[in-house]
Protein backbone atom coordinates (compact mmCIF):
# COMPACT_ATOMS: atom_id res chain seq x y z
CA UNK A 1 0.00 0.00 0.00
CA UNK A 2 1.25 3.48 -0.85
CA UNK A 3 1.62 5.70 2.21
CA UNK A 4 1.40 9.45 1.71
CA UNK A 5 2.02 12.20 4.24
CA UNK A 6 -0.07 15.34 3.76
CA UNK A 7 1.05 18.31 5.85
CA UNK A 8 -1.74 20.82 6.33
CA UNK A 9 -4.04 17.86 5.82
CA UNK A 10 -6.83 19.40 7.93
CA UNK A 11 -6.86 22.54 5.81
CA UNK A 12 -8.99 23.41 2.80
CA UNK A 13 -6.71 21.97 0.11
CA UNK A 14 -5.03 19.33 2.29
CA UNK A 15 -8.32 17.74 3.26
CA UNK A 16 -9.59 17.57 -0.34
CA UNK A 17 -6.24 16.14 -1.39
CA UNK A 18 -6.46 13.54 1.37
CA UNK A 19 -9.92 12.52 0.11
CA UNK A 20 -8.55 12.02 -3.40
CA UNK A 21 -5.50 10.06 -2.21
CA UNK A 22 -7.68 7.75 -0.12
CA UNK A 23 -9.96 7.22 -3.12
CA UNK A 24 -6.85 6.27 -5.15
CA UNK A 25 -5.97 3.64 -2.52
CA UNK A 26 -3.28 5.53 -0.58
CA UNK A 27 -2.89 5.34 3.16
CA UNK A 28 -2.83 8.95 4.39
CA UNK A 29 -0.92 10.36 7.34
CA UNK A 30 -2.38 13.79 7.88
CA UNK A 31 -0.25 16.25 9.83
CA UNK A 32 -1.58 19.61 10.97
CA UNK A 33 -1.07 21.97 13.92
CA UNK A 34 -4.61 23.32 13.42
CA UNK A 35 -3.69 27.02 13.50
CA UNK A 36 -5.65 27.55 10.32
CA UNK A 37 -6.73 23.95 9.67
CA UNK A 38 -9.92 22.54 11.17
CA UNK A 39 -10.71 19.03 12.42
CA UNK A 40 -14.20 19.39 10.95
CA UNK A 41 -12.59 19.12 7.48
CA UNK A 42 -11.44 15.58 8.23
CA UNK A 43 -14.18 14.48 10.64
CA UNK A 44 -15.63 12.21 7.93
CA UNK A 45 -12.32 10.28 7.79
CA UNK A 46 -12.12 9.56 11.50
CA UNK A 47 -12.00 5.88 12.32
CA UNK A 48 -10.74 4.76 8.89
CA UNK A 49 -7.84 2.34 9.04
CA UNK A 50 -6.13 3.97 6.10
CA UNK A 51 -6.17 7.44 7.66
CA UNK A 52 -4.27 8.82 10.64
CA UNK A 53 -4.20 12.34 12.03
CA UNK A 54 -1.10 13.61 13.79
CA UNK A 55 -1.27 17.01 15.49
CA UNK A 56 2.15 18.54 14.93
CA UNK A 57 3.78 21.78 13.82
CA UNK A 58 6.05 20.81 10.90
CA UNK A 59 8.23 23.86 11.54
CA UNK A 60 9.60 21.58 14.27
CA UNK A 61 11.37 18.32 13.29
CA UNK A 62 9.10 15.36 12.76
CA UNK A 63 9.76 11.68 13.07
CA UNK A 64 7.48 9.05 11.63
CA UNK A 65 8.08 5.32 12.13
CA UNK A 66 6.12 4.16 9.08
CA UNK A 67 7.49 3.53 5.62
CA UNK A 68 6.52 6.54 3.51
CA UNK A 69 6.23 6.79 -0.27
CA UNK A 70 5.19 10.42 -0.72
CA UNK A 71 5.40 13.63 1.30
CA UNK A 72 3.04 16.42 0.20
CA UNK A 73 3.81 19.71 1.93
CA UNK A 74 0.62 21.78 2.08
CA UNK A 75 0.92 23.28 5.56
CA UNK A 76 0.89 27.09 5.60
CA UNK A 77 -1.35 29.99 6.45
CA UNK A 78 -2.60 30.79 2.96
CA UNK A 79 -4.89 33.80 2.96
CA UNK A 80 -3.57 37.37 3.06
CA UNK A 81 -5.29 37.96 6.43
CA UNK A 82 -3.82 34.76 7.86
CA UNK A 83 -0.31 35.53 6.88
CA UNK A 84 -0.61 39.10 8.09
CA UNK A 85 -1.74 37.78 11.47
CA UNK A 86 0.77 34.92 11.50
CA UNK A 87 3.81 36.35 9.70
CA UNK A 88 6.49 34.45 11.62
CA UNK A 89 4.63 31.11 11.43
CA UNK A 90 4.16 31.68 7.70
CA UNK A 91 7.89 32.26 7.20
CA UNK A 92 8.76 29.30 9.41
CA UNK A 93 6.46 26.75 7.80
CA UNK A 94 7.65 27.75 4.32
CA UNK A 95 11.33 27.57 5.30
CA UNK A 96 11.87 25.33 8.36
CA UNK A 97 8.72 23.33 7.58
CA UNK A 98 9.92 22.71 4.03
CA UNK A 99 13.37 21.77 5.34
CA UNK A 100 11.93 19.34 7.89
CA UNK A 101 9.54 17.71 5.43
CA UNK A 102 12.26 17.43 2.76
CA UNK A 103 14.41 15.80 5.44
CA UNK A 104 11.62 13.32 6.08
CA UNK A 105 11.37 12.58 2.34
CA UNK A 106 15.14 12.09 2.17
CA UNK A 107 15.22 9.75 5.14
CA UNK A 108 12.34 7.68 3.73
CA UNK A 109 13.50 7.95 0.09
CA UNK A 110 10.02 9.28 -0.62
CA UNK A 111 8.75 11.46 -3.45
CA UNK A 112 8.14 15.08 -2.39
CA UNK A 113 5.54 17.54 -3.64
CA UNK A 114 5.64 21.19 -2.62
CA UNK A 115 2.54 23.37 -2.62
CA UNK A 116 3.85 26.61 -4.06
CA UNK A 117 1.82 29.55 -5.25
CA UNK A 118 1.11 32.11 -7.94
CA UNK A 119 2.35 34.60 -5.31
CA UNK A 120 5.90 33.72 -6.43
CA UNK A 121 5.07 35.95 -9.44
CA UNK A 122 4.19 38.84 -7.08
CA UNK A 123 2.54 41.77 -8.89
CA UNK A 124 3.30 40.33 -12.32
CA UNK A 125 4.65 42.33 -15.23
CA UNK A 126 3.91 39.48 -17.66
CA UNK A 127 0.39 38.31 -18.41
CA UNK A 128 -0.72 35.53 -18.28
CA UNK A 129 2.03 34.11 -16.09
CA UNK A 130 4.11 31.23 -17.49
CA UNK A 131 6.37 29.17 -15.22
CA UNK A 132 9.43 30.73 -16.90
CA UNK A 133 8.54 34.17 -15.42
CA UNK A 134 10.70 35.02 -12.38
CA UNK A 135 8.21 37.34 -10.79
CA UNK A 136 7.97 40.81 -9.30
CA UNK A 137 7.89 40.38 -5.52
CA UNK A 138 8.38 42.98 -2.79
CA UNK A 139 10.40 41.08 -0.17
CA UNK A 140 9.74 43.59 2.64
CA UNK A 141 6.02 44.25 2.07
CA UNK A 142 3.32 42.57 4.18
CA UNK A 143 2.84 39.76 1.64
CA UNK A 144 6.60 39.15 1.50
CA UNK A 145 6.37 36.68 4.39
CA UNK A 146 4.35 34.30 2.22
CA UNK A 147 5.85 35.06 -1.18
CA UNK A 148 9.47 34.82 -0.09
CA UNK A 149 8.88 31.74 2.09
CA UNK A 150 7.40 29.95 -0.92
CA UNK A 151 10.21 31.14 -3.20
CA UNK A 152 12.73 29.86 -0.66
CA UNK A 153 10.79 26.59 -0.43
CA UNK A 154 11.02 26.14 -4.21
CA UNK A 155 14.78 26.79 -4.10
CA UNK A 156 15.17 24.30 -1.25
CA UNK A 157 13.16 21.60 -3.04
CA UNK A 158 15.31 22.05 -6.17
CA UNK A 159 18.48 21.86 -4.05
CA UNK A 160 17.31 18.60 -2.44
CA UNK A 161 16.58 17.28 -5.89
CA UNK A 162 19.92 18.30 -7.37
CA UNK A 163 22.11 17.54 -4.36
CA UNK A 164 20.34 14.58 -2.71
CA UNK A 165 18.53 13.16 -5.74
CA UNK A 166 15.11 13.46 -4.08
CA UNK A 167 12.18 13.14 -6.51
CA UNK A 168 10.61 16.55 -6.08
CA UNK A 169 7.54 18.16 -7.65
CA UNK A 170 6.45 21.80 -7.37
CA UNK A 171 2.91 22.97 -8.02
CA UNK A 172 2.22 26.71 -8.29
CA UNK A 173 -1.35 27.02 -7.13
CA UNK A 174 -3.50 29.89 -8.39
CA UNK A 175 -6.67 31.13 -6.63
CA UNK A 176 -8.75 28.11 -5.71
CA UNK A 177 -12.19 27.88 -4.11
CA UNK A 178 -14.67 25.31 -2.88
CA UNK A 179 -16.31 23.85 0.22
CA UNK A 180 -14.25 23.86 3.46
CA UNK A 181 -12.84 27.35 2.97
CA UNK A 182 -13.20 29.31 6.20
CA UNK A 183 -15.93 31.95 5.90
CA UNK A 184 -13.75 34.54 7.57
CA UNK A 185 -10.31 33.70 6.25
CA UNK A 186 -10.45 37.00 4.35
CA UNK A 187 -10.12 35.58 0.86
CA UNK A 188 -12.40 37.01 -1.73
CA UNK A 189 -14.51 33.91 -2.46
CA UNK A 190 -15.56 33.10 1.12
CA UNK A 191 -15.79 36.81 1.98
CA UNK A 192 -18.19 37.63 -0.85
CA UNK A 193 -20.31 34.48 -0.45
CA UNK A 194 -20.61 34.97 3.31
CA UNK A 195 -21.50 38.65 2.87
CA UNK A 196 -24.03 37.90 0.11
CA UNK A 197 -25.76 35.21 2.17
CA UNK A 198 -26.01 37.50 5.20
CA UNK A 199 -27.29 40.39 3.07
CA UNK A 200 -24.28 42.49 4.06
CA UNK A 201 -22.43 44.72 1.59
CA UNK A 202 -19.75 42.99 -0.47
CA UNK A 203 -16.40 44.62 0.32
CA UNK A 204 -14.59 45.26 -2.96
CA UNK A 205 -11.03 46.40 -2.30
CA UNK A 206 -9.93 49.35 -4.44
CA UNK A 207 -11.98 49.98 -7.56
CA UNK A 208 -12.24 46.23 -8.17
CA UNK A 209 -10.43 46.37 -11.52
CA UNK A 210 -7.74 43.96 -10.29
CA UNK A 211 -8.20 40.51 -11.80
CA UNK A 212 -8.09 36.94 -10.52
CA UNK A 213 -8.82 33.54 -12.09
CA UNK A 214 -10.66 31.03 -9.92
CA UNK A 215 -10.15 27.27 -10.01
CA UNK A 216 -12.56 24.81 -8.42
CA UNK A 217 -10.90 22.60 -5.83
CA UNK A 218 -11.58 19.22 -7.52
CA UNK A 219 -9.85 20.45 -10.70
CA UNK A 220 -6.88 21.64 -8.69
CA UNK A 221 -6.59 18.35 -6.81
CA UNK A 222 -6.72 16.44 -10.09
CA UNK A 223 -3.84 18.52 -11.48
CA UNK A 224 -1.81 17.93 -8.31
CA UNK A 225 -2.44 14.20 -8.43
CA UNK A 226 -1.32 14.03 -12.06
CA UNK A 227 1.78 16.04 -11.20
CA UNK A 228 2.63 13.68 -8.35
CA UNK A 229 2.58 10.74 -10.77
CA UNK A 230 4.54 12.61 -13.47
CA UNK A 231 8.29 13.00 -13.96
CA UNK A 232 8.28 16.80 -14.01
CA UNK A 233 10.68 18.38 -11.54
CA UNK A 234 10.35 22.02 -12.63
CA UNK A 235 7.38 24.04 -11.30
CA UNK A 236 3.96 23.68 -12.93
CA UNK A 237 1.08 26.16 -12.76
CA UNK A 238 -2.30 24.70 -11.86
CA UNK A 239 -5.23 27.07 -12.03
CA UNK A 240 -8.18 28.09 -14.11
CA UNK A 241 -7.40 30.63 -16.85
CA UNK A 242 -10.90 32.18 -16.77
CA UNK A 243 -9.98 35.66 -15.61
CA UNK A 244 -12.31 38.32 -14.25
CA UNK A 245 -12.12 41.55 -12.32
CA UNK A 246 -12.93 41.49 -8.62
CA UNK A 247 -15.85 43.84 -9.28
CA UNK A 248 -17.23 41.47 -11.91
CA UNK A 249 -16.77 38.63 -9.44
CA UNK A 250 -18.75 40.52 -6.78
CA UNK A 251 -21.59 41.03 -9.27
CA UNK A 252 -21.47 37.33 -10.18
CA UNK A 253 -21.82 36.33 -6.52
CA UNK A 254 -24.76 38.70 -5.96
CA UNK A 255 -26.49 37.33 -9.02
CA UNK A 256 -25.70 33.71 -8.20
CA UNK A 257 -26.98 33.92 -4.63
CA UNK A 258 -29.95 36.14 -5.51
CA UNK A 259 -28.77 38.42 -2.72
CA UNK A 260 -29.94 41.99 -2.19
CA UNK A 261 -26.49 42.96 -0.93
CA UNK A 262 -24.87 46.07 -2.29
CA UNK A 263 -21.25 46.66 -3.15
CA UNK A 264 -19.06 48.83 -0.98
CA UNK A 265 -15.42 49.77 -1.56
CA UNK A 266 -12.54 49.47 0.89
CA UNK A 267 -8.88 50.44 0.49
CA UNK A 268 -6.76 48.16 -1.66
CA UNK A 269 -4.30 46.18 0.49
CA UNK A 270 -0.59 46.93 0.06
CA UNK A 271 1.04 45.10 -2.89
CA UNK A 272 -2.26 43.55 -4.00
CA UNK A 273 -1.43 42.07 -7.44
CA UNK A 274 -3.24 43.99 -10.21
CA UNK A 275 -3.63 41.03 -12.54
CA UNK A 276 -3.36 37.26 -12.27
CA UNK A 277 -4.03 34.51 -14.76
CA UNK A 278 -2.23 31.20 -15.12
CA UNK A 279 -0.64 30.14 -18.37
CA UNK A 280 -1.48 26.43 -18.19
CA UNK A 281 0.05 25.29 -21.47
CA UNK A 282 2.69 23.31 -19.57
CA UNK A 283 0.15 21.45 -17.41
CA UNK A 284 -1.91 20.76 -20.49
CA UNK A 285 1.06 19.43 -22.53
CA UNK A 286 2.83 17.46 -19.77
CA UNK A 287 -0.04 16.30 -17.57
CA UNK A 288 -2.91 16.27 -20.06
CA UNK A 289 -4.67 18.49 -17.54
CA UNK A 290 -7.10 21.34 -17.92
CA UNK A 291 -9.90 22.49 -15.61
CA UNK A 292 -13.37 21.06 -16.21
CA UNK A 293 -15.65 22.69 -13.64
CA UNK A 294 -17.41 25.85 -14.80
CA UNK A 295 -17.46 28.76 -12.33
CA UNK A 296 -21.27 28.57 -12.06
CA UNK A 297 -21.15 24.88 -11.06
CA UNK A 298 -18.26 25.34 -8.65
CA UNK A 299 -20.06 28.26 -7.04
CA UNK A 300 -23.22 26.20 -6.63
CA UNK A 301 -21.52 23.64 -4.37
CA UNK A 302 -19.48 26.30 -2.57
CA UNK A 303 -22.54 28.42 -1.83
CA UNK A 304 -24.41 25.30 -0.65
CA UNK A 305 -21.57 24.63 1.80
CA UNK A 306 -21.69 28.18 3.17
CA UNK A 307 -25.48 28.03 3.45
CA UNK A 308 -25.12 24.92 5.60
CA UNK A 309 -22.60 26.64 7.86
CA UNK A 310 -24.91 29.61 8.27
CA UNK A 311 -27.88 27.37 9.07
CA UNK A 312 -25.81 25.56 11.71
CA UNK A 313 -24.87 28.92 13.23
CA UNK A 314 -28.55 29.84 13.56
CA UNK A 315 -29.36 26.71 15.59
N1 LIG B 1 -10.67 41.23 -2.21
C2 LIG B 1 -11.74 42.09 -2.15
N3 LIG B 1 -12.58 42.02 -1.08
C4 LIG B 1 -12.41 41.12 -0.07
C5 LIG B 1 -11.33 40.22 -0.14
C6 LIG B 1 -10.47 40.32 -1.22
O7 LIG B 1 -11.93 42.94 -3.05
O8 LIG B 1 -13.22 41.12 0.88
C9 LIG B 1 -9.76 41.31 -3.37
C10 LIG B 1 -8.30 41.43 -3.02
O11 LIG B 1 -7.94 42.77 -2.86
C12 LIG B 1 -7.65 40.80 -4.23
C13 LIG B 1 -8.65 39.73 -4.68
O14 LIG B 1 -9.88 40.09 -4.09
O15 LIG B 1 -7.48 41.74 -5.26
C16 LIG B 1 -8.29 38.32 -4.24
O17 LIG B 1 -8.00 38.36 -2.88
P18 LIG B 1 -7.72 37.07 -2.00
O19 LIG B 1 -7.52 37.52 -0.61
O20 LIG B 1 -8.77 36.07 -2.24
O21 LIG B 1 -6.37 36.43 -2.54
P22 LIG B 1 -5.11 36.93 -3.37
O23 LIG B 1 -5.42 36.53 -4.76
O24 LIG B 1 -4.96 38.43 -3.24
O25 LIG B 1 -4.00 36.20 -2.77
How much is the pLDDT for 161?
98
Residues involved in catalysis: 146
CA of 142 to the centre of ligand 1 (A): 14
**What pLDDT does residue 315 have?**
77
Mean of per-residue pLDDT scores for the chain: 97
What pLDDT shows up at residue 184? 87
Q: For position 233, what pLDDT does the model report?
A: 98
CA of 188 to the centre of ligand 1 (A): 5
For residue 142 and ligand 1, the question of a CB distance below 6 A is answered with no
pLDDT at residue 150, rounded to an integer: 98
User: What digits encode the pLDDT tens for the residues 180-230?
Assistant: 999 889 999 999 999 999 999 999 999 999 999 999 999 999 999 999 999
3-176+216-238 is classed CATH 2.40.10.350: no
Ligand 1 within 6 A of 188 CB?
Answer: yes
Cα–ligand 1 centroid distance for 71 (angstroms): 30
Model confidence over 20-43: pLDDT tens digits? Answer: 999 999 999 999 999 999 999 999
Which part of the chain is CATH 3.90.25.10?
179-212+242-275+293-309
Nearest CA to ligand 1 atom 24: 272
What DSSP string runs through 134-185?
--B--TTSTTHHHHHHHHHHHHHHHHHHHHH---EEEEEE--EE-TT--TTS
Whether residue 246 has its Cβ less than 6 Å from ligand 1: yes
Best of 81, 214, 246 for a ligand 1 pocket test (most atoms within 8 Å of beta carbon): 246
Q: Is the C-beta atom of 275 inside 6 A of ligand 1?
A: no
pLDDT < 50 positions in the chain: none
Q: Does domain 179-212+242-275+293-309 have CATH number 3.90.25.10?
A: yes
CA atoms of 170 and 158, how far apart (whole Å)? 9
As annotated, the residues of the chain forming the CATH 3.40.50.720 domain(s) are 3-176+216-238
Q: Which atom of ligand 1 is nearest to the CA of 175?
A: 23
Query: What distance in Å separates the CA atoms of residue 133 and residue 87, rounded to the nearest whole number?
Result: 26
Q: What is the pTM of this model?
A: 0.98
Phi, psi of 154 (to 5 degrees): -60, -45
C-beta of 21 in contact with ligand 1 (< 6 A): no
Cα–ligand 1 centroid distance for 51 (angstroms) = 34
User: Does residue 8's CB lie within 6 angstroms of at least one atom of ligand 1?
Assistant: no
Residue 128 three-state SS: coil
- Give the Cα separation of 82 and 77 in Å (integer): 6
Quickly count: other Cβ atoms within 10 Å of residue 42's Cβ. Answer: 24
Amino acid sequence: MTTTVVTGGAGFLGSHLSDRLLAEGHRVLCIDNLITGNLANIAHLEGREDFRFIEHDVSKPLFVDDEIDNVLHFASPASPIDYLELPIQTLKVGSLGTHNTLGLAKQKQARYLLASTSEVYGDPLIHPQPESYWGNVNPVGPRGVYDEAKRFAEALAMAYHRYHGIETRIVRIFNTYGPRMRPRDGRVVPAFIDQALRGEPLTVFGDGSQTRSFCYVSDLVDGIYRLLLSDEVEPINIGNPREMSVLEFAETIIEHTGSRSEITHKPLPVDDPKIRQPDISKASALLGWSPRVELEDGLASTVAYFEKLLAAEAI
